[in-house]
Amino acid sequence: MRPPLSRRQFLAASAAAALAGPARAAESKKLVLIAGTPSHPPGMHEFNAGVQLLAGCLKGFPGLETSVNLNGWPRDETVFNGAAGILIYADGGPGHPAIQGGRLALLGGLVAKGVGLMCAHYGVEVPKDKGGQEFQDWIGGYYEDKWSCNPIWKPEYKEFPKHPVANGVKPFVAEDEWYFNMRFRPDMKGVTGILTAVPPDKVRDGPYVYPKGPYKHIQEAKGRPEHMMWAADRADGGRGVGFTGGHFHTNWQNDNLRKAVLNALVWICKLDVPADGVESKVTDDDIRQNLDPKPGKK
Ligand SMILES: [Zn+2]
């Protein structure tokens, strides 16, 4: 039997416990999820519903906490304090939320400190002369207007690299607006294709979603495998991921597609991805939650 604690011992034990609490919390990694504003008909570019669904799937993942930010760039940029990883799932191009004002500089500072970055769907597109160089450096490549293309097609993903982001991902097929022919780093330095498939010739021949194309350089590459998702390592240890799917919201019900994305979110935070990948379930009810209001309705 232990003797009762003296008052001094009791106070010392309480202080130690108080210290242990916040210290434990600080050990968990913070993933900041940013959803873009609505732009498409229902079921497409459901960024708000998408990030909430992904955050729900990651709930309870050991050592990870999420910060969900809806309807555009966080109004309070202190959400980035202490971030381990950032996801931007939003419309891109000249209106990309990451290139407005001083945000490229803000993100550059975070990336230099080792914060991981993942961009999804239209969020992988930035103008060549505004963000292109940075995205290539940060996530390994970007969608370059008229160089990359954006057809809706149904790749067959049959083989995966030995990479944590591919852990537990089994062969699958999914129709989406899978962009390809990104402007990757020269020689793919530090870039690993995660979701790779050969587009059928008719996909290269177009039409693409916008502009309709076809582009000669895309048609001339018939038979070449393309990377629709990739993971990038930086020389300083930083991590980035690009994922070009994510047009159709219902694809989040595809267990293998979702697993690759969840694995990537864990990986950019420099957490270990389980050998079988991140496990999650998305029901028919889950997929109907948090959808953007239909145009014309309040
Ligand atoms: Zn789209």
Instruction: For the chain, 298 residues long, give each residue's pLDDT as a single digit of tens.
Output: 444 555 555 555 554 444 444 444 558 999 999 999 999 999 999 999 999 999 999 999 999 999 999 999 999 999 999 999 999 999 999 999 999 999 999 999 999 999 999 999 999 999 999 999 999 999 999 999 999 999 999 999 999 999 999 999 999 999 999 999 999 999 999 999 999 999 999 999 999 999 999 999 999 999 999 999 999 999 999 999 999 999 999 999 999 999 999 999 999 999 999 999 999 999 999 999 999 998 765 4
161 and 192 Cβ atoms separated by less than 8 Å:
yes
Q: What is the Å distance from ligand 1's center to 254 Cα?
A: 17
Q: What is the Å distance from ligand 1's center to 91 Cα?
A: 8
Q: What is the Å distance from ligand 1's center to 73 Cα?
A: 19
Cα gap 267→85, rounded to integer Å: 9
* Residue 199 token pair: 């587009």
Question: Which amino acid type is present at position 249?
Answer: H
User: How, if at all, do strands 183-184 and 141-142 pair?
Assistant: antiparallel
Q: What is the Å distance from ligand 1's center to 77 Cα?
A: 27
249 and 44 Cβ atoms separated by less than 8 Å:
yes
Q: What is the Å distance from ligand 1's center to 152 Cα?
A: 9
Provide the pLDDT for residue 26.
Answer: 54
Q: What is the Å distance from ligand 1's center to 290 Cα?
A: 18
Q: What is the Å distance from ligand 1's center to 237 Cα?
A: 31
Q: What is the Å distance from ligand 1's center to 142 Cα?
A: 15
User: How, if at all, do strands 64-69 and 116-120 pair?
Assistant: unpaired
What pTM value is reported for the model? 0.91
Q: What is the Å distance from ligand 1's center to 192 Cα?
A: 23
Q: What is the Å distance from ligand 1's center to 264 Cα?
A: 20
Q: What is the Å distance from ligand 1's center to 177 Cα?
A: 6
257 and 245 Cβ atoms separated by less than 8 Å:
yes
Q: What is the Å distance from ligand 1's center to 4 Cα?
A: 66
End-to-end CA distance of the chain: 66
Q: What is the Å distance from ligand 1's center to 12 Cα?
A: 58
Q: Cα–chain-centroid distance for residue 96?
A: 15
Torsion angle defined by CA atoms of residues 198, 201, 207 and 211, in that order, rounded to the nearest 10 degrees: 60
